[in-house]
Amino acid sequence: MARAQIPDSDGLAAVLATRGDAPARDQKAMAVRYTLQLLAERAPGNTVEVRVPPFGATQCIEGPRHTRGTPPNVVEMTAEVWLDLARGTLDWDDAVQAGKVYASGQRADIGGLLPLLRGRFAEAPGE
């Protein structure tokens, strides 16, 4: 059974709401899940698992599929770091070098897929 998709209007509203200093937990959760959904759409597959605890995880990038245990290619970070990467306000290489991202495995570099939201904020001032 497929997961329910978050509509663009709801997802973008949540992402916009998380730009402030203290976003509501439910808004942050929806923003993370929506951007993970965008990542899975951009790079379908099961080779890399991207984790943003406690809000969500997704698998992406074509290649060998893992079926049990910890996958060989894992990317993990906080919700704040993930949303900054998705928005393009934080560079992938900078985040990795600063230790803000845990990336393990040969295929765990998702920097080429980021940012995810470029062009989706056409109606949002300042984007």
Domain presence at residue 124 = no
Domain presence at residue 15 = yes
Domain presence at residue 30 = yes
Domain presence at residue 72 = yes
Domain presence at residue 120 = no
β-strand partners of 49: 59, 74
The reported pLDDT for the residue numbered 2 is 62
Domain presence at residue 75 = yes
Tokens found for residue 51: 């984790």
In angstroms, the CA 53 to CA 51 distance is 6
> Which residue range(s) make up the domain with 31?
8-113
Task: Report helix, strand or coil for 103.
Answer: strand
Tokens found for residue 34: 């929506």
Span 48-62, mean pLDDT?
96
Domain presence at residue 14 = yes
Domain containing residue 46: CATH number: 3.30.1050.40
Task: Report helix, strand or coil for 114.
Answer: coil
- 66-101: per-residue pLDDT in tens? 667 777 899 999 999 999 999 999 999 999 999 999
> Count of domains in the chain?
1
- 12-42: per-residue pLDDT in tens? 999 999 988 889 999 999 999 999 999 999 9
Domain presence at residue 94 = yes
